[in-house]
Amino acid sequence: MWTVTQLTFRKLKEPAFFLMLAFALMAGYAVSEMDPVSDQVAGNAILSHLLGRQPGSEPVLTSTFAALLISMLLACFTGAVEIPREISGGQIQHWLSKPISRSSYLLGKYFGILLICAAFFCATELSVILCHYARTGAFFSAKLIARQFLMMSMFVPYTAVILMFSCCAGDIAAIIFTLLYLLFSLLFNLIPILIAMLPEGFAGEVEESIFVLYYLFPNNLYFLLDFPLFGIVSGMLLLYSVSIAAIFLLIADYQFRHMDLSKRG
């Protein structure tokens, strides 16, 4: 399993990844002095109600949100094509001819893609921190920096979603499905607030049916909330990430173990 992880992570040496890294560093420089996300949405009645600044909490910086989006897009375009291309190219048969199970191979791919996401995110965040120091002569506080790196927990379920779709479709289809799923999850995350804004009688009629769809998507807005760094919220957020990832990995594992790899290869 760890050999698969290592070889997947080594793809960072390819020229395309260096170009993406350069883009990520420039993006980090461009947004290094922007206000936190909670301040950016202060003028929006819906989002400010959900993501408003809480006393005693450390906010998520807009630069961190940009680094997150860049890393997630990279993971989507990288991870979604990994398994389909190894199946069509025949490399999968080489891996499975060794003493490694399909589940171990899948976990190796999962951790490899997760490490790629983390590497890009960390590089972008370090760029933001150094740019802030160069402009102001001071570093961010240790708690604020730790809050930004806690956002990496969002990669845990997202990488599992990518692998699930890569086991169900071809490379291009997996990219499209992953992006659509992420888009719909962001849309459905706002359902509770939107329902609360509806007239009481009308809200009761649609609430039961629409909440069935709401629970089919992970709530990405949890990761953007302002909360104290050390406490039950951060611990429950990590538990939530791992639990969601486990569900998607189980679906991906079931699909992968029942795939006819020789027919697809």
- Phi, psi (degrees; rounded to nearest 5) at 158: -65, -40
Of the ranges 108-112, 213-217, 241-245, which one carries the lowest mean pLDDT score? 213-217
Give me the pLDDT at residue 78, please.
78
Residue-number span of the structural domain to which 203 is assigned: 2-264
Arithmetic mean of pLDDT, 174-198: 77
Give me the pLDDT at residue 265, please.
42
Give the span between the Cα atoms of 134 and 148, in whole angstroms: 19
pLDDT over 90 percentage in the chain: 3
- Radius of gyration (C-alpha) of the chain in whole angstroms: 20
pLDDT over 70 percentage in the chain: 76
**pLDDT category of residue 31 using cuts at 50, 70 and 90:** low
Q: Are 229 and 214 in contact (CB under 8 A)?
A: no
Q: What is the number of domains present in the chain?
A: 1
89-148 pLDDT, tens per residue?
777 777 777 778 888 888 888 998 888 888 888 888 888 888 888 888 888 888 888 888
Arithmetic mean of pLDDT, 202-228: 69
**pLDDT category of residue 262 using cuts at 50, 70 and 90:** low
